[in-house]
Structure 1
Amino acid sequence: MRSVEVDLAAIRSNYQLLKNTFAPAKVMAVVKANAYGHGMLQVAKALESAGVDALGVADVQEAISLRMSGIKSRIVCWLILPSDLELAADHDIEVGISTFEQLAAVTENNKIHIKLDTGLGRNGFAEADLDRLVSELSGREVVGIFSHLSNTSETEDRVQKDKFDQAVDKIRRAGVAFTERHLAASAASISYSDFHYEMVRCGIAVYGLTPFEDRELPLALQPAMRVVAKLVNVKKVSAGQGVSYGYRYVTDKPTTLGLVPFGYGEGMPRISVGHSVLIAGKLYPVVGRVAMDQFVVDLAGDEPAIGEDVVIFGLPARGEPTAEQLGQSSQSINYEIVTRIGGRANRVYLNR
């Protein structure tokens, strides 16, 4: 009745394209938040089979779940507590260090990346911390130094890059050795070749989706997720028929309405307005308020068969609606759409 199709072959292909595009830089594939809704373990296994350089997750719990499932690749995480460091060392998990409290808890068995706050205002050592940081790094082994961009504009990105370069230079001149710098996520990796350093971190691009809200994706990446439900009801209604809670939509002429069993319980945004779905090769608008279990489409008098596939989003090359379009309909972005999709939907893993 409801399915989330994930094409692992597309994910491997996307990763290889990113590797080829950004070489000689390594590419960390970010699989946090259940691989952006695609299935963390299945995606990690697919990427490991493709020779992934490193996997990125948010926290130690995600990293350990990968290790316990047999993943051998490098894993890096960056949202941690000092108490996580012993577990990280036990499971060969590299960690991002952002505070002096974390740094004080580091043991000789930890593999660490130092995070710098170059302007995002989140995790990381501030510019004012650098003198103390350099002093406390003396004699320690450091794998990498990294930061994260705000993606506000090219001007702001380059301000952050300059701050990053200056801080890295100061750390290097103090005699602290490290092997990797990484600053760029998907958007900056694609936009600026001089932001690649030794490694880039790609999340949304691995799944074939664009990190940009204002322009097309310049790489031939393939969306890996396709969300489909079955049409469960078709009914004829008169003009003036209210549809769903609050009658946000009222028919202005006789029509047919279709019922789709996919609601906000599956991640279909309740506030979505203006999204269209594909049924039997034709786009139809979603009308009325999305409910917990279902939504309604105006079929404009058509009567597709009960059980017909309803593509909520999928592959634009086939003329299907996209995750970006569903995000726009709900004042959100494709990242949030794919990460939240699931609920009672059955996940199906493909190798097209």
Structure 2
Amino acid sequence: MRGSVWVLTGTLVLASSGAVAASVVETSAGPMRIELVATGLEEPWGLGFLPDGMFLITEREGALKLFAAPGAEPVQVSGLPEVYAEGQGGLLDILVPRDFAQSREIWLSYSLPQGRGAGTALGRAVLSGDGTRLEGFEPVFISPEGGRGGRHFGSRVVEAVDGTIFLAVGDRGTGPDGLEAQDPMRAEGKIIHLNRDGSPATVLPGTLPGVHSLGHRNPQGMALDVQGGLWVVEHGAQGGDELNRVEAGRNYGWPVIAYGEDYGGGQIGEGQAKPGMEQPVFYWDPSIAPSGLAFYSGALVSAWAGDVFTGSLKFDYVSRLNPDNGYAEERISSPETGRVRDVVEAPDGSIWFLSVYDGAAYRMAPVK
């Protein structure tokens, strides 16, 4: 379970220049070409693909940009909600539902100003035919109570196999002494499950309607595996970042149990285990600050089929975990992998990631 089984770090072996900036990195599956597909971004956060080859990228300060193709000049999309762009808050994740060709719906998670604080929110709108604006944006879910400060909003959005929507909500940074993540009637530190009309898709006795699981700290990656199961990666405190398989009604422990320690030292809660609380499938110690999550289909790299990809905000690499080998970790590192915020498999089977340091999006695929 622990993240120290073995580590293979990718090595940059070639850089090239030309119409498309690119480099080549060695990996366990052979050389991969990493090429620039979008640049000039201000703290990119979420990435979504449209069925016609276009793609959308959110910027935390509150902008949404549409790219017609890799390397194209972006279109600034209007019609966005007001966001609380402080600390870790702002315009966050984006979801393009599978029925976009018919519905043209776009879903966005964001931090919403609430009095003297802010809370995690989720909303949807229709993308105009020319791609320049969101029409009829409406909030679908708003955390009932906003916390103060700019930490731990979450907040990834995933469409389930049945078309319902999952939203990851952070604990708002209240620390080991705050038990909001354990309070079933609060939204903080929860995975929220909604129908497309915003009604709760999970209803558990004695819980806020929509709460699917509890005891999460700061989930900044969420994805379905190849069988449709839901997973998250979440930040620990000082050590103890976790990969969790999420199931309805389960309690994932924060801040009662944790594999990290409190900032400045000291045990968090009651230790590392407690009856009735789930253990992570895998954890990192020291923390890597994981963000973004993808389960790879194997479309272009069959050796990686079913493997788990996430970005490291702290150590500047793309992490690949191999479930068939005890979740052994390969660290794919190159000059482009600076503070990786999101990792997504593209429709063609390539792996795309967002670099906060570069303000850029990159595409990784086998060298041909």
Asked if Structure 1 and Structure 2 have the same fold, meaning a TM-score greater than 0.5 normalized by the shorter chain, the answer is no
* Higher strand residue share: 2
Structure showing greater relative contact order (alpha-carbon pairs closer than 8 Å, 6 or more residues apart): 1
Higher-helix-fraction structure: 1
Instruction: Find the structure with the greater CA-based Rg.
Output: 1
Give TM-score scaled by structure 2 length: 0.29
